[in-house]
Structure 1
């Protein structure tokens, strides 16, 4: 096992080199490589590192040996895979039903869940990639959320100012996957 600079990452489904959309967000709450827990050696998804920090990496062979050696580890990671599958399903639902502002609020809340402070270091370009929208749409949505007093947005940085109101604004776009994670593992924050 070796240490890597990983704290928060997004997984994206890719239809071509220029078209992608986020399908899930992982930080200290979980892991990348859920396909290995499911006895598959690969996934067609791409992983984007969004926030650096402390994390760990393990070779696939060592990870497979650890899974084989520990039923408790396999059970815990199977619960995580279930929680991540719920997050993925609700991401698809949100992409179909919610406005860009609601989806951005959801995404900021999910990122905030995986941080120790209220600052999220992200560019408009990256948020646009994760939401599957054009960059100007993110800029307009950020201004809208900022105007409501939920966040403060500066170049490359979003600060959550009023989390509870941001949650209320996100409405049904946020909460079900987080409740499932909490039911299966523990609270995210």
Structure 2
């Protein structure tokens, strides 16, 4: 991985490999997060069982990996913010694993839509049923059935290639408790955004931050 990305909008998922050609959503990254933050822990991007998928294209600030690692070492406040973000990622991934194992699809879909809305800061989730089925690891027909139930109950509106959350409060009630746990951890750890440094103090590395695009896959 040559660059680390700080999205300013858009939606990226980090998906875990299930078998040779199938991946399941592990966590989402939007404007609150960092694509490639895991590099700070290992010093290298060794995640052969994961891949990053841009579902909603957007903009980002990107930093060369070498500069990112130097900045994380040189700037304690930046490093601390990254560690808090990684703590949120750990909660999100562990909770998603439990959720996928024990909760009904309708609750899982409601949770996923709520998290996506939080990450996008928008009630419009521009994803097809096929993409949602891939992320949730289920058949497309199962997603379509759950979407239909949520729409009939007035919680969402299903439009071409995207879903609109019409009643967030009721959708929260339809979701499992996992969403509340994830939301509270976000609020506890990420009281402010972990922005990409656009410059470093005198004598320190890190002048390579630049605007970039996150093209949809």
Query: Scaled by the length of structure 1, what TM-score is found?
Result: 0.92
TM superposition shift of 1:173: 3.0
> Which among 156, 169, 176 is matched to residue 174 of structure 2?
169
Structure number with the bigger relative contact order (C-alpha 8 A, sep ≥ 6) is 2
- Ranges in structure 2 where 5+ consecutive residues have no aligned partner: 194-217
> Which among 6, 11, 16 is matched to residue 13 of structure 1?
16
Residue 33 of structure 1 is matched in structure 2 by 36
TM superposition shift of 1:137: 0.8
RMSD across aligned C-alpha pairs, in angstroms? Answer: 2.0
Larger Rg: 2
TM superposition shift of 1:6: 5.8
TM superposition shift of 1:96: 0.8
Alignment coverage as a number of residue pairs: 188
TM superposition shift of 1:34: 2.4
Contact 1:181 1:187 in 2 (8 A): no
Query: Scaled by the length of structure 2, what TM-score is found?
Result: 0.81
Which structure is higher in strand share?
A: 2
- Secondary structure of the equivalent of 1:171? coil
1: CA distance, partners of 2:144 / 2:80: 42
TM superposition shift of 1:186: 1.9
